[in-house]
């Protein structure tokens, strides 16, 4: 069993792939069979497994979620940190803060076109932390 915190730099709103970083941690662990659990330590971003071949799939997902939860909605009162703050919390609540991926023969069992993404819902640049638990 191992637990590690992975720090990811984000350049703004959108889907940021980090599949390779997780693959490297799984390989380095020597774990042959088990489970990789990822947990995001933030309330205005999320994790998802999504297509990593065609960028238009990511753009369409982002556009759809932005249309579903628009900024500057007059219903929002949690606006101190800017117009993207409350929509980011709602988007995070509608998506996932954790993922579980089986490990088989020392590899993540992701499908051919699947990648692991941090979905940043704010416009800011900065860092996000993902806890990686391998068991």
Domains of the chain listed by start with CATH number: 2-134 (2.60.120.460)
Per residue in 52-84, pLDDT tens? Answer: 999 999 999 999 999 999 999 999 999 999 999
Structure-derived torsion over alpha carbons of residues 122, 21, 117, 56, reported in degrees to the nearest 10: 110
The pTM of the full predicted model, rounded to 2 decimals, is: 0.96
Task: Output DSSP code: residue 106.
Answer: T
Contact at 8 Å (CB) between 35 and 123?
no
State the first-to-last Cα distance of the chain, in angstroms, to the nearest integer.
Answer: 4
Please write the tens of the pLDDT for every residue from 82-105.
999 999 999 999 999 999 999 999
């Amino acid at each position: 069993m191992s637990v590690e915190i992975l720090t990811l730099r984000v350049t703004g709103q959108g889907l940021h792939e980090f599949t390779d970083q997780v693959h490297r941690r799984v390989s380095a662990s020597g774990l042959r069979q088990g489970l990789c659990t990822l947990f995001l330590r933030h309330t205005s971003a999320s994790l998802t497994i999504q297509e990593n071949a065609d960028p238009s799939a990511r753009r369409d997902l982002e556009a759809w979620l932005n249309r579903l939860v628009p900024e500057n909605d007059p219903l929002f009162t949690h606006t101190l940190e800017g117009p993207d703050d409350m929509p980011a919390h709602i988007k995070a609540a509608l998506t996932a803060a954790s993922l579980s991926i089986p490990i088989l023969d020392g590899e993540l069992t992701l499908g051919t076109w699947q990648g692991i993404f941090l979905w940043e819902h704010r416009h800011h640049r900065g860092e996000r932390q993902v806890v990686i638990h391998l068991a």
